[in-house]
Structure formats: C-alpha cells, structure tokens
Amino acid sequence: MTPGDAVAQAVHAQELEGWRPEDDARVALTAFATGTLGRGEYIAAAVAAARAIDPSEQRPRLLRRYRPYYVRGTTVLRNGIGLANPVALAEAEHRVCAARLVEIHLGAVAPGVPLVTSIHQHLFGDVYPWAGQQRIVDLRKGDAKFLPVPHLAARMAALEAGAGTVRPPDFVGPTATILADLVAVHPFREGNGRTATTLLAVLARRAGLPFDLRRIDRTAWMDASRAAMAARDGDHRVPGDPFVPIVERAIGIWQSGSA
C-alpha cells in the first residue's frame, strides 16, 4: 500500500466515526506517512492543533462522586496528552489514531496476540492510559446495552480465539460474525468502532485479500451495527448477517443486487 492510500484508509476509518478532518490534518498525516514528520513531532503537532480548536478547560467540581475513566468532576476522559477539553481531546484522538492506523496499513506495525487487544493498544496507547484494557463499567448507547462487565473476559477470550482462526476460503461469514460480536461485546471504554474496522483490515491482509474501507460509508456501518444489536439475544449474542455486506464491500466482492 502506498503512503497516499494508507492516509486515505486511515482518514476514512475516522470519518466512519464522525470525524471531519481539516486540510491541515491531512497534510500532517501525509507528512507522517512519507517519513517527513516523525511520530513524536506528529503527535505534538496533533495535540497543539486540537488545543487550538478550543483551549478552554473543564474545571472539576467539588463534592462530585468519582467516575472511572473521567477526570474527576468533568466529562473529560482521562488522557495522557494533557487535554482538559472534550472537543480538543476528541480531535487529538482522531489525529493520533489516524497516524497509528497509517503504520498498520503500511505494514510498519503488525498487531500481535491477542489481536483485538493489541490493535486497541496500538491505536489509542498514545492518548489513553487504559488502552488495550477491558472496560470496568457497563456501557449503553441509546437503547443498546452492551455486554455486562462480568461476562467480558470469557467473551473476549472466545472472540480473540475466533479472530486468530479466520482463513480463506471461508472468510466472509466468520469475519462478519466476529465484527458483530465485537460490536455487542464493546470491550473497551472508547474506540471500539475503529478497533473493528482495523481488525477487518488486518484479517483481510492476513488472508491475502484486497481491502478498501472507502467502499463502506458511515450509514452502512452504523446500520449494520444497529441491526446486529437489535437482534441480540439474552446473552448478547448477535447475528453476523448485517455485517456480511460490510465485509464483502471491503474486500471488493459485494454486488449491488445482493444482500
């Protein structure tokens, strides 16, 4: 993959999560991909650019109960890059994660084992001290309640084992099932969607299959996630079917007349 393609893939992965990058973000990412800008320089510039968007800080409130993952008394996630504003933190997270994605797409970094955990640690380790660690709080998004914490360890072990066995020719179905399960398990406090799309890219590469995330738009990705969660059973088991077109699009075998 060329540096330009790696940048395009990394940016699109963030766009699926709602990022709208400014031109300077693309320029900096291209400089990083081509080696003009080192990782440390890139991260420092990304944090500075994010802080410039909104330099204000959320002041902690006294007598507020402690909430894991947040700076006490605020709605700002604890982070290792010194940002105390949620808007700035979100922007920095996207920019830094994009660079880490570029490294994976260029083959400069090969995620280790366990695969899903390794991917999350690589993508978010520069930003969050809890990157690569299973969440310790229950999460929900709208009406969707993700797998409760007491069941995380067992399901993640099964998910990691499944991810390690995906091989052609039976690639689409098992990969779709793994992606759907990752959505339902939602093992990390933040960054589950980008972990899932990166997992898809890594599995496709390992299988020797072509891959282009740009064939998937945000609507299709969100619709697949919602459809899977809507069909979950009492054990938070979800069908892989909604993600079959996602996988097929990504590896270039989906046809508009098919499912």
How far apart are alpha carbons 29 and 153 in whole angstroms?
A: 35
Tens of pLDDT, residues 133-190: 999 999 988 877 899 999 999 999 999 999 999 988 899 999 999 999 998 899 999 9
Task: Identify the CA nearest to 121 among candidates 188, 210, 33.
Answer: 188
Tens of pLDDT, residues 34-53: 999 999 999 999 999 999 99
CA angle 23, 190, 201 (to 5 degrees): 65
Pick the CATH number of 113-259 from 1.10.3290.10, 1.20.1270.30, 3.40.109.10, 3.90.550.10: 1.10.3290.10
Q: How far apart are the first and last CA of the chain?
A: 29
**Amino acid (one-letter) located at 159:** L
Q: Average the pLDDT over 202-231 and give the result.
A: 93
Query: Could you state, in order of their start, the residue ranges of all structural domains in the chain?
Result: 1-109, 113-259
pLDDT over 90 (residue 61) = no
